[in-house]
């Protein structure tokens, strides 16, 4: 049981950085060369490689070397549904916050 929680925690930690979420988002559309991912994140290759290494260690992404290039792909397909769920939840929170603000403005008049 404890191992399951530790594994889950490792995945959440891997997804817990904006650059890594950006990388995962990019990989939702299919595999990408690390050089393309570097441009997307806008960081040096060593920083991007470190982020990809964290995601790879957690099992979220996989990679394949082809000649001089390394291509990454999403390995944990269920992250697609999870991120969609997070987006829906955040949209709902924004909507609720807007309703609260709208209600406060009405009460102030």
Cβ-proximal residues to 64 (8 Å cutoff; 6+ apart), any chain: 31, 70, 71, 73
Are 50 and 89 in the same domain? no
User: Distance between CA atoms of 60 and 11, rounded to whole angstroms?
Assistant: 7
Are 2 and 13 in the same domain? yes
Are 49 and 92 in the same domain? no
What mean pLDDT is reported for the chain?
90
Are 71 and 81 in the same domain? no
**What is the pLDDT at residue 43?**
85
Q: The domain containing residue 105 runs over which residues?
A: 77-109
Are 96 and 62 in the same domain? no
Are 37 and 67 in the same domain? yes
Number of domains forming the structure of the chain: 2
Is the pLDDT higher at 82 or at 107? 82
Are 67 and 91 in the same domain? no
Task: Convert the pLDDT of each residue in 20-59 to its tens digit.
Answer: 999 999 999 999 999 889 888 888 889 999 999 999 999 9
In the predicted model, is pLDDT for residue 107 greater than 70?
Answer: no
**What is the pLDDT at residue 53?**
96
């Amino acid at each position: 049981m404890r191992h399951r929680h530790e594994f889950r925690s490792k995945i959440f930690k891997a997804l817990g950085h904006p650059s890594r979420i950006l990388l995962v988002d990019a990989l939702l559309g299919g595999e990408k060369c690390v050089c393309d991912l570097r441009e997307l994140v806008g960081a040096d290759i060593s920083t991007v490689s470190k982020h990809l290494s964290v995601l790879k260690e957690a099992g979220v992404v996989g990679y394949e070397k082809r000649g001089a290039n390394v291509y990454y792909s999403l390995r944990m397909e269920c992250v697609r549904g999870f991120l969609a769920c997070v987006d829906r939840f955040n949209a709902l929170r924004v909507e609720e916050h807007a309703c609260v603000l709208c209600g406060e403005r009405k009460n102030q008049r």
